[in-house]
Amino acid sequence: MGITRLRELDSPAAVTAGGRTLSYAELRGAAGALAAQFEGAGRAAVWAQNTLEAIIAMVACLECGVELVPLNPKLGSSELEHILSDACPDLVIGGPDAGVGGTHSGVPQLTVDPDARGNLPEQSFDDERPALVIYTSGTTGRPKGVLLPGRAITSNLDAIARAWAWTERDTLTHALPIFHVHGLVLGIFGPLRRGGHVHHLERFTPEAVAAALSGGASMLFGVPTMYHRLAEAARADPAVAGALRGARLLVSGSAGLPARTFEQIRLTTGQRIVERYGLTETIMNTAVRADGERRPGEVGRPLEGVELRIVAEDGSDAPADGETIGEVVVKGPNLFLGYLNRPDATAEAVRDGWFWSGDLATVAPDGYLRIVGRKSTDLIKTGGYKVGAGEIEGALLEHAAVSEAAVKGERDEDLGERIIAWVVLTGGTSVPSERDLADHVAVLLAPHKRPRAVHFVSELPRNAMGKVIKQQLVAG
């Protein structure tokens, strides 16, 4: 068996997107027709719009052993250039008619036809080879390509399925972007590995989620921002509350779910949201089981096969007292192979086979983890997206009117954290507005990386080494 059960099944519903449903046989046929054009490609970049076409392309790559690099369709020019130069795909699938342009305009581009039919080529799977290259932000530098092997995906999806009693009878619905682990590995490959059905909503709205759940979906995956908006909608609209009440499992992840949101959903729908915790480099590490106790702010125990330590500052393992804080360190079949072209970064993150996550947690006497923060203030989680402060500072400095920039995350009820920038201007004649700088970042990187507020200051607070003291930057 490959990563999905596409080759074995003929069930009537594999995937629904854009108002259209493909059976397993239809999805297999469409993926087969596309794969016939791969011509020995080793790596393909796929524009990951929330469409049936993008899903077909991703599945075709996965089933044919072509390394898949999903591209955020809203990537800015500078980030797109970085990813294409770093990953050097042999093919680009989908996307604008004009292709990727720039220095990569020679890369062949394929389009997907959901009505085409072909046969998937025979394929023997090497579970240790990269199946996916997913770009994720770090504290410094440009995003890094995380190489995920088939083994990490299959072992993790199976462990999650056992924790959540997830079977082919489940229909999963979600509106997550499909260029990250959450929306793609868990949200698309997960149901297809179970032999179940995924209903992708294209765009998140509480009403669309409610309609999918009322229409037979049994599970929902979302980030805390989505549950925050669902809680508000459920309070105002009994139809939304009723739809959420009927679900078998509501799962939240990618960022900490505020206890308040957990409570609001419980009060309006009777549902206790299940949390799980992971990273791009590890897929999922812990999860609250479907039959386990669901406590706000806790992300459950390690999944089967995952070894996990909480390493306190003095290097010892933190006691399971629910209080001592340490860094989450992970080992297991769920681990990535390394960062593409970055042996230095890989060696820093993985030592003696253990991956150092940078997340801080406590562990309760019954083994449940609580994620309490991150080691670096330079990693921001906004709407469930991880963003490095350094990336945004670098983009701001590319603006002709900016001479210095510092970026921080500030607490935000809806987004978890909101990106705030402090900038010193060069003093030239053209003075940019807050909006100009936000747009500048949105165009170079991606819209979710834009600052939500920009403070113009005459200087940044610095220590004797010249390093910006971010604790002294306070949003006015």
Query: For binding to ligand AMP (CB under 6 A), which residues are involved?
Result: 136, 181, 253-256, 275-280, 299, 357, 359, 371, 374, 381, 386
For 342, how many CA atoms within 13 A lie in the half-sphere containing its CB? Answer: 23
Q: How far apart are CA 14 and CA 7, in angstroms?
A: 12
Q: Which is nearer to ligand AMP, 170 or 275 (CB)?
A: 275
Shortest Cβ distance from residue 382 to ligand AMP (Å)?
A: 11
Residue nearest to ligand MCA (CB): 383
Count, residues in the chain? 476
Q: How far apart are CA 384 and CA 226, in angstroms?
A: 9
Nearest-CA neighbor of 390 among 373, 375, 374, 409?
409
- The site partner of 226 among ligand MCA, ligand AMP, none (C-beta below 5 to 8 Å per kind) is ligand MCA
Q: What is the dihedral of CA 410, 413, 417, 423, to 10 degrees?
A: -40
Shortest Cβ distance from residue 430 to ligand AMP (Å)?
A: 36
- The site partner of 371 among ligand AMP, ligand MCA, none (C-beta below 5 to 8 Å per kind) is ligand AMP
Shortest Cβ distance from residue 240 to ligand AMP (Å)?
A: 23
3-class DSSP assignment, residue 181: helix
- The site partner of 74 among ligand MCA, ligand AMP, none (C-beta below 5 to 8 Å per kind) is ligand MCA
Q: Which is nearer to ligand MCA, 183 or 196 (CB)?
A: 183
- The site partner of 200 among ligand MCA, ligand AMP, none (C-beta below 5 to 8 Å per kind) is none
- The site partner of 342 among ligand MCA, ligand AMP, none (C-beta below 5 to 8 Å per kind) is none
Shortest Cβ distance from residue 247 to ligand AMP (Å)?
A: 18
Q: How far apart are CA 342 and CA 327, in angstroms?
A: 23
Q: Which helix (H) or strand (E) holds 240?
A: helix 238-245
Q: What is the dihedral of CA 239, 240, 243, 247, to 10 degrees?
A: -160
3-state secondary structure 278-320: EECCCEEEEECCCCCCCCCCCCCEECCCCEEEEECCCCCECCC
Measured CA to CA in angstroms, residue 174 lies from 191, 204, 219 at distances of: 11, 8, 9
Place of tokens 């150092």: 356
Shortest Cβ distance from residue 78 to ligand MCA (Å)?
A: 14
Q: Is 97 exposed, middle or buried (0-12, 13-18, 19+ CB in 10 A)?
A: exposed
Cβ proximity of 196 and 169 under 8 Å? yes
- The site partner of 374 among ligand MCA, ligand AMP, none (C-beta below 5 to 8 Å per kind) is ligand AMP
Shortest Cβ distance from residue 111 to ligand AMP (Å)?
A: 29
Shortest Cβ distance from residue 339 to ligand AMP (Å)?
A: 12
Q: Which is nearer to ligand AMP, 166 or 355 (CB)?
A: 355
Q: Which is nearer to ligand MCA, 10 or 398 (CB)?
A: 398
Q: Which is nearer to ligand AMP, 136 or 173 (CB)?
A: 136
Shortest Cβ distance from residue 448 to ligand MCA (Å)?
A: 5
Q: Which is nearer to ligand MCA, 13 or 441 (CB)?
A: 441
**What does the DSSP assignment read for 429-456?**
S----HHHHHHHHHHHS-GGGS-SEEEE
Residues that bind ligand MCA (CB under 6 A): 74, 176-177, 180-183, 204, 223, 225-226, 253-254, 278-280, 383-385, 438-439, 442, 447-448, 450
